[in-house]
Structure 1
Amino acid sequence: MSDSDKVEAKTDEAKGKVKETVGHAVGNESLEAEGRTDQAKGHTREAAEKAKDAVKDIFENRHKDSDKD
């Protein structure tokens, strides 16, 4: 996961948490829902990047193992 992707994911999560908290505090259900959506977007982006990293690691390890033979 690149650093910029990590920052984007964490930014979405933080922005969403703020929106959700403010929406709850002022009784704005729409803002609360938008905040939850932003958080989910950040979590999804982070999970996708981790999956890409895992696949990349598998292929790199497979390549290293085949070089040893």
Structure 2
Amino acid sequence: MAAAAIAFTGGYGELGEYLAENGEPADSCITYDRVARAFGGMLAILGVVAAPISTGDTALRCARLIAADFMHCNQKAS
């Protein structure tokens, strides 16, 4: 959001002038709103829950295939 505001006004100095003209504090363009918090929460859930589950599943599958290959077990469906 801050990058869009800087691009819209033309630079850091122009953004500061624009905010001063409209009575906004200088940090008003970097505060989070509800949408950003919800999006960040979803990313956190994916990073904390989904990624480790996927990694664990892949590791277990690899371990099973290595063990089956080591013990010469047939892995074809019957």
Q: With structure 2 as the length reference, what TM-score do the two structures score?
A: 0.44
Q: Rg bigger for which structure?
A: 2
Q: Which has the higher contact order (CA 8 A, sep 6+)?
A: 1
Structure number with higher helix proportion:
1
